[in-house]
């Protein structure tokens, strides 16, 4: 039975409400919550009838969608889940669900070679692995890098929809260097993930500078409904990261040619896993060591990447970067100097 997107939003909203044990939910409360959700996600402000929500509850209770939700009424007025641990998101996949998902994966696999779908490769692999593990009742055989304790992931949905719907945000944010958090109006343009941390690029009200804010440093976030949205005229998201390792870059910053030597033992690793897509092999020496060159922005992420190779890599140019790396290794050595016997 096909279910439209608005109905799914209502089901998920009702589910979220009934999972909250600290509030008593009347039918009117559920209507208001669903109306707010449809306005936030779809811009629909015409309201929802009592009959619609009553039919939604009946649908969630039934087997038609596989939910069988244990929704009960108590005190002739309030709704709740009889099982406090229940959620429609925990509903196991049916045989038909698995069949449809398997067919969808087979279709998606046909597009892996196209550049437009290049970012879907790991998504397809995740689906394939999940479907196989459910079918065979085995543990997954693919483990993707993740950080379950990472803060700020709860802000992802709000920021994503603000960008899609061109909505202004009111943020309370504290950078690592700031003594306290500050409040400001922010216009979001792009979400970026780097090494399991999420960042949002945008501008602040009254400041014509591009910012990238770490989601794990956001203390509070909400839609600034009375603030008009400022369109992105600052950068092109499709080309902005072409010369970048990491996320740190100012709008007018220019890339540099960075040349570095890699010892023989690690040269094959760097050759097969480039530090940046611009990487080219400049020289292969008799001892099998190699000299590479990349053209990138000089930032702290690049510095940390190079420092991570320790004594396997030597930066040859530019002199400013080579000098910085050298000074960092000297400081690191000094930390251990007194302890060396």
Give the pLDDT score at 197: 86
Contacts of 319 (CB under 8 A, 6+ apart): none
Give the pLDDT score at 64: 82
List the 197-204 sheet strands across, edge first: 210-214, 197-204, 182-194, 169-173, 218-223
156 token code pair: 């992802």
Mean pLDDT by runs of 10 across the 341 residues of the chain is 74 92 91 90 84 93 86 93 87 63 62 52 62 59 63 82 92 86 93 88 91 92 92 90 91 92 94 94 95 96 94 95 95 80 52
Greatest alpha-carbon span in the chain? 85
For 119, 256, 273, the CA distances from 314, given in Å and listed in that order, are 33, 17, 17
List the 290-296 sheet strands across, edge first: 280-284, 290-296, 256-262, 313-317
Give the pLDDT score at 1: 40
Give the pLDDT score at 252: 82
pTM higher than 0.85: no
Give the pLDDT score at 147: 66
Give the pLDDT score at 121: 59
């Amino acid at each position: 039975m096909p279910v439209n997107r608005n109905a799914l939003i209502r089901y998920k909203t009702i589910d979220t409400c009934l999972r909250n044990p600290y509030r008593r939910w009347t039918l009117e409360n559920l209507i208001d919550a669903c109306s707010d959700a449809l306005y936030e996600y779809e811009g629909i402000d015409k309201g929802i009838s009592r009959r619609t929500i009553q039919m939604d509850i009946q649908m969630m209770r039934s087997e038609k969608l596989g939910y069988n939700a244990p929704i009960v009424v108590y005190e002739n007025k309030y709704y709740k889940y009889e099982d406090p641990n229940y959620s429609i998101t925990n509903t196991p996949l049916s045989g038909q669900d698995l069949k449809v998902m398997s067919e969808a994966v087979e279709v998606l696999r046909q597009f892996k070679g196209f550049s437009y779908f290049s970012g879907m490769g790991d998504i397809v692999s995740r689906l394939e692995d999940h479907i196989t593990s459910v079918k065979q009742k085995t543990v997954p055989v693919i483990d993707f890098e993740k950080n379950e304790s990472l803060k700020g992931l709860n802000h992802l949905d709000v920021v994503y929809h603000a960008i899609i719907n061109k909505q202004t945000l009111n943020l309370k944010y504290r950078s690592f260097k700031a003594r306290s958090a500050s409040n400001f109006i922010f216009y979001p343009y792009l979400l970026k993930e780097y090494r399991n941390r999420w960042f949002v690029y945008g501008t602040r009200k009254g400041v014509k500078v591009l910012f990238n804010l770490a989601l794990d440093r956001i203390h509070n976030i909400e839609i600034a409904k009375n603030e008009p949205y400022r369109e992105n005229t600052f950068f092109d998201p499709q080309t902005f990261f072409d010369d970048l390792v990491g996320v740190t870059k100012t709008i007018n910053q220019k890339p540099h040619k960075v040349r570095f030597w890699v010892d023989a033992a690690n040269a094959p690793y760097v050759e097969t896993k480039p530090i940046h897509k611009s990487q080219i092999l400049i020289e292969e020496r008799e001892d099998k060591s190699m000299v590479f060159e990349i053209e990138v922005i000089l930032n702290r992420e690049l510095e940390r990447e190079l420092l991570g190779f320790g004594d396997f890599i030597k930066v040859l140019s530019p002199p400013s970067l080579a000098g910085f790396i050298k000074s960092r290794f000297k400081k690191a050595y000094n930390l251990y100097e007194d302890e060396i016997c």
